[in-house]
Amino acid sequence: MTDNPFFEPSATPFGLPPFDRIEARHFPPAFDRGMEAQNAAILGITENPEPPSFANTIEALEGSGRLLDQVSAIFFNLRSSHTNDAIEEIARDYAPRLALHRLKIMQNPALFARLATLYERREVLSLASDRRRLLERRYRNFVRAGALLEAEGRARLLAIEERLASLHTAFGQNVLHDEEGFGLDLDEGDLEGLPGFARDAAARAAQERGMEGRFLIPLSRSAVDAFLSFSPRRDLRRKLYEAFASRGAHPGEFDNRPLIAEIVALRREKARLLGYESFADYQLDEAMAKTPAAAERLLVEVWEPAKRKALEERALLERLARADGQNDPLEAWDWHYYAEKVRRERFDRDERELKPYFVLDTIVRAAFAVAGRLFGLSFVERRDWPRYHPDVRVYEVRAAGGRTIGLFLHDNFARPGKRSGAWMGSYRAEESFEGEVLPIVVNNNNFAKGEPTLLSFEDARTLFHEFGHGLHGLLSRARYPSQSGTAVRRDFVEFPSQIFEHWIGETEILRQYARHHETGEAMPEDLIRRLQAARHFGQGFLTVEYTAAALFDLALHREGAASLDIDRFEKELREKIGAPAEIALRHRPAHFQHLFAGAGYAAGYYAYLWAEVLDADGFAAFKERGDIFEPTLAASLRAILEAGDTAEPMELYRAFRGREPELRPLLEDRGLVDRAKAA
């Protein structure tokens, strides 16, 4: 035994991380030992006198970083969900070291020579389809990491990746600094118009910051949206909106704009080193879209009808604002407020009337129940197992026959030390090539805690979305960890999450799980009808703010250069596409963590819309069958989740749907075409 839990055999159920024992000081020596162990394993591969084989090269490489993978998964998940100064200091120190470590492996000439030998012989190796795909993907990844470059080019690429790792880390830390450094401080007199759930959340947020008797609106999207939707105080709406929109864009030490310029320039240089015209070309070469032009075509096809719908919505809001006595032009901080009024007056949908029926615990049960009916899963809470924070709930996930298939962690509340947004993470990927390893998956949300916690309908959709990602990880049946679960093409990874969103809006689910938090009564049929009738209102706004952000991302990573002025670039892009002035990008550049706190979605933010083509078309198959739990389709959908990256995404989709996807269901689902005319 040692005092470092990373160096001991697991004593927790199913290998759950011993969160109750892990401290920040344990990570640096564990990272160091993990890198040393992987380097030794790589040396064992390259010095093996036997000719290269799939087992002694590909599988040996696949198993070479066990400790490092374990430590990294725990560290970076905790850094997102439950960080502190010590963890952030370690991140600044180790992010560039880890980037260099991984890239040096990918650029190891002796290792690549063995891999290339196998790649050249792939036609005669008689490999199973998943093994052949693993070999081919490994080879491409090494090439994309510079394995074919001369020594000078490899050295420059190493320097670029080291610097990018530091910049990505600093970007995320700067956003967190601004989010934790601001809260809209209110007194009782400032709460006019706010429903009880928003008042309670504001009181609790103030209490958490030691401000007894005050009310605080933190910079989490759910809290900000609620205040913007209900407060008649235009001055306070503006103050909160501008604080939210300007995260990461304050001159000085925590300004992310200079970082963006350097990140974009380095990414462009990297792409050019590797033979690509732009970073967008580099990124999309490994995506379903294949080219920036293909991704842009989809965005443009949706942009014009979305913009028309948004302008129709704006006209409605302006009429209400004038009737309300507001003669100044409509501004971004007015949109949510008057949109909520339109929903009440035109569609008789009031968020204050709806929200009491969306109780967090009940919506969680709804998500579990849908997974049960589709895939035969059950979720058994384990209150005595280790957790990294009291908010976290831990579940043992069982298949229909009672066999445990994984662990699921649910972390739903906003708090200091947790980044904003919603996301799925993995503490351990499923695999079977060295014995069965069960997945350990986490879903993070940032809901305002209440007694009970009440969600908006959009919050409920977000919960279902992230749970769809979680199911992708939990149901994986891949042999190798690098093909497991969500390790798929970036523009395919959102399909499982987005198709799962559809179930929460279905009448059958609402009747059973939308229940009043005080009476337990089901949502009235009339309210369900009004909720569904209003679902197309606001889609112009939502589609414009998202699509503008995706077009910005593509343009930036095709055109951005070292002299980039990001504010000017954003302004000129908006003018070029004709974005309505009152609708900002979904994420303004200086806090666009999808793009700049890492490279995962860089030049790939379009992926949500690309995947929505699949999910709208895919869910339409269930509707066509007249059964949203139709067993044959459910089994085909499960096959996609189980496959991970063992097959091409479009092959998996065609097997599920019987054909390639069509765009029209997406346009209809967002209300961007007239169904009657379409028929």
Are 499 and 470 in contact, with CB atoms under 8 Å apart? Answer: no
Who's near 572: CB < 8 A, 6+ residues apart?
Answer: none
Distance between the two ends of the chain, CA-based, in angstroms?
Answer: 70
Report d(CA 556, CA 560) in Å as an integer. Answer: 5
Rg of the chain's alpha carbons, rounded to an integer? 25
Write the CA distances from 674 to 309, 529, 534, 537, 679, integer angstroms.
11, 19, 15, 13, 9
What does the alpha-carbon distance between residue 248 and residue 594 come to, in Å, rounded to a whole number?
Answer: 14
User: Can you tell me the distance from the alpha carbon of 35 to that of 403, in angstroms, rounded to the nearest whole number?
Assistant: 35
Contact 158, 100 (CB under 8 A): yes
- Burial of residue 521 (CB within 10 Å: 0-12, 13-18, 19+) is exposed
Q: Are 53 and 16 in contact (CB under 8 A)?
A: no
287 φ/ψ angles, rounded to the nearest 5 degrees: -110, 170
190, HSE (Cβ side, Cα atoms, 13 Å): 18
In angstroms, rounded to a whole number, what is the distance separating the alpha carbons of residues 467 and 444?
Answer: 9
Of 461, 394, 368, 396, residue with least CA distance to 422: 461
Instruction: Give how far Cα 95 sits from Cα of 273, 300, 321, 362, 645, Å.
Output: 22, 37, 49, 39, 26
Tell me how crowded residue 416 is: count the other CB atoms within 10 A of its CB. Answer: 14
Q: What one-character DSSP code corresponds to residue 523?
A: P
Closest CA to 179 of 597, 465, 528, 499: 597
Residue 540: which region, alpha, beta or left (left: phi > 0; alpha: psi -120 to 50)? alpha
Q: What's the rounded Cα separation, in Å, for the pair 190 and 198?
A: 12
Stated length of the chain? 679
d(Cα 585, Cα 663) in Å, to the nearest integer? 23
Is the alpha carbon torsion for 511, 517, 519, 520 positive or negative? positive
Residue with token string 């337990």: 520
Burial class (CB in 10 A: 0-12, 13-18, 19+), 279: buried
The span from the CA of 556 to the CA of 573, in Å, is 9
Nearest residue to 579 via CA among 611, 614, 540: 540
Main-chain dihedrals φ then ψ at residue 626, nearest 5 degrees:
75, 20
Q: Give CA–CA dist 635/340, Å, rounded.
A: 40
| 27: its two tokens | 């990570």
Catalytic residues: 466
Beta-bridge partners for 216? 185
Burial of residue 35 (CB within 10 Å: 0-12, 13-18, 19+) is buried
DSSP output for 304-358: HHHHHHHHHHHHHHHHHHHHTT--SPP-HHHHHHHHHHHHHHHH---HHHHGGG-
Q: In one letter, which amino acid is 63?
A: G
